[in-house]
Structure 1
Amino acid sequence: MRGSVYYQTAELTKIIFQEGAKKQDRINPKHLHYQKIASYNTMKSYRDVWNNFLNYLKEHWNVKDCEKINFEHILAYIDYKVEYYPSKQYLQKIISALGKLEIALNYYSKLKYDFPILYDFSIRSSLLTEATNLKLVADNYHNRTYQDPIKLIENLSKSKHKIAAKIELEGGARVEACTLIKKEQLLEYKIDKITQNNKGVLFTKEKGGKEGNIYILVDTYKLLLLEIETVGVFKINRANYMKDIRETAKRLNIASEGTHGFRWNFAKRRLFEYANAGYTYEQSLLLVSKEMKHNRANITEHYLGG
């Protein structure tokens, strides 16, 4: 579908919104209004989620056509939202909105094509169940750190994926900061004032346009530099990277915590490094949060189970 994010969601809204449709008709598979939305406020709430989701895909996946959405995008978006400690109610709204997006896309495809595309976002239900078992939305804290992240990284199938994972683990970068890195982002070496170790400095721009430097090990920096000098740029396919992590974890009989797991490892290690450098607990929380490009100190407590 061509057009802006807001045009596309408007077109899908026209298809699925039926103001005043009776409930008995909306639950009847044989009725014209089956699975449609009858409430204006509900439709507005869901469309807000759709707009956010499509803007996320445009920014982080370079997907500008809602017809190209697949389950990998659903998985990544929910994982992306879960990192920010959402309430159970908010996460449920996202899940419900994506369910209605699936229905709207299927309606649209049936109207447009002789051989319609079949959209299946059912993975969202299992993701909600999983998230409910985290301290993201319930009382049970789920530690997403990898017990042996190096073992997982060293067994990834592609060298580029290993570099990306190390950048997340060592520097606390989000996955979107690792999918495309240009030479001008490499800022040579600098002493990390917290550990007093020499590290490679990488400039990143992440969610919401947040910018800043991250510190990675010298060996990782050299591998990144070599890759860029060889092919001109460091670039990976996000979906393939995430798939490699899941499949490698399964092969090694390790619980897969996705790419965020590496950031969890970073947060816990970095907080310990700040403590060793003489910072108070509150100072450490704030500074680690800033390194991870969060706005609030209590986000770091989320990674600690606090």
Structure 2
Amino acid sequence: MENSMRGSVYYQSAVLTKVIFFEGAKKINRINPNHEHYLCIASFKTMQSYKKVWDNFFNYLKEHFKVKNFELITSEHVKSYIEYKIEYYPSKQYLEKIISALGKLEIALNRYSKDKYDNPITYDFKIRQELLNNARDLKLVANNYHNRVYVNPTLVITNLKNINHQIAASIQLEGGARSEGVTLIKEEQLKGYKIDDITKQTVGVVETKEKGGKVGDVLISINTYQKLENYFLENNTNTFKIKYQDYLDDIKNSCKKVNATYQGSHGFRWTFAQNRVREYQKHDYTYEQALQGVSWEMKHYRASITEHYLGK
């Protein structure tokens, strides 16, 4: 893209701020489609709050999609970010702020592009509102529950073209790790073997630190653990690293190949949650104990959060 937007996350968000923030702009003008202040932001406090969301979103895009020019943002990026935030069980108020901030970002990008190009880019982030509408009170469970579980996750995983993606997906499926817990793993995170307190079976242990600084053990099969060990040995490296966008693309193509509904990488985490609850109950734990145990394993605190993955 010629003359594409450059600079740090904070510089680019500041550039976009200038096209939409007009301190003290009158409300009558902000609701007038024919006025230059139409749909702009007039409050410095509000703009400051929204810019923090933009910065967080932009940093997410850099980390997970390697997007550094924010003119390249698509509705798919917006969808991924919102679903990622929902995984962290935000308050309804915070989620609504994110949705509003991304709505203003859409307006800012459209204004910026219209001012800059003869053939401006059109941005449409209406997906954000659909995702908000599907969040019900504080539990953020879809009103029309959308089960993101993979019916046959093993089939999807075995048809991934990249062996490293197979390892990452297996860790998510078997241990419930989030995407950032599998896109970068250092050899020092491998903690050997232990007996799973629930199943009494031997499992491999990978310690992960995910967003929010939550550190904990992810328990995976011996087979997957050995594949991870072999990766470090065969590649003479101490870092396992995959590109998030390539990982998602591989999952999407595998789903097409085996005629499965694409649920993203988080679908493996959802599948883990449902499988693990059943595992607890199979070994004589109550439903409430299962909810709490799985919640802790997924680096949450409250038992009720697990029900987000069960559609309760």
Q: For structure 1, which segment, 284-293 or 244-253, has the greater mean C-alpha deviation from structure 2 after superposition?
A: 244-253
Residue identity over aligned pairs, in percent, reads 53
Are residues 49 and 218 of structure 1, via their aligned partners in 2, closer, same or farther at CA, if it must alter by over 3 Å?
same
Residue of structure 2 aligned with 1:148, choices 129, 147, 152:
152
In the alignment, which residue of structure 2 is the partner of 1:300? 306
In the alignment, which residue of structure 2 is the partner of 1:157? 161
Q: In structure 1, what is the Cα distance between the partners aligned to 2:131 and 2:259?
A: 18
- The correspondence of residues 121-200 of structure 1 with structure 2, limited to 5 A, is 122=124, 124-126=125-127, 128-129=129-130, 132-133=133-134, 136=140, 138-200=142-204
Summarize deviations over 1:267-296 as a string: whole Å, max 9, x none: 111112222333232222112111101122
**1:290 to 2:310 alignment:** no
- The correspondence of residues 141-290 of structure 1 with structure 2, limited to 5 A, is 141-231=145-235, 232=237, 233-290=239-296
Q: CA deviation at 1:70?
A: 2.6
The residue type equivalent to 2:64 in the other structure is W
Q: CA deviation at 1:117?
A: 8.3
Contact (CA 8 Å) 2:61, 2:68: kept in 1 or not?
no
Q: CA deviation at 1:61?
A: 3.1
Structure 2-normalised TM-score? Answer: 0.82
The residue type equivalent to 1:182 in the other structure is K
Q: CA deviation at 1:36?
A: 2.6
Q: For structure 1, which segment, 102-111 or 137-146, has the greater mean C-alpha deviation from structure 2 after superposition?
A: 102-111
The residue type equivalent to 1:204 in the other structure is T
Are residues 134 and 11 of structure 1, via their aligned partners in 2, closer, same or farther at CA, if it must alter by over 3 Å?
closer
Q: CA deviation at 1:84?
A: 3.9
Aligned-residue RMSD, C-alpha: 3.1
Q: CA deviation at 1:57?
A: 4.1
Are residues 61 and 115 of structure 1, via their aligned partners in 2, closer, same or farther at CA, if it must alter by over 3 Å?
farther
Q: In structure 2, what is the Cα distance between the partners aligned to 1:127 and 1:114?
A: 26
Unpaired stretches in structure 2, ≥5 consecutive residues:
1-5
Total equivalences in the alignment:
301
Q: In structure 1, what is the Cα distance between the partners aligned to 2:191 and 2:119?
A: 49
Unpaired stretches in structure 1, ≥5 consecutive residues:
none
**1:61 to 2:64 alignment:** yes
Are residues 141 and 68 of structure 1, via their aligned partners in 2, closer, same or farther at CA, if it must alter by over 3 Å?
same
Q: CA deviation at 1:226?
A: 1.2
Q: Secondary structure at the match of 1:61?
A: helix
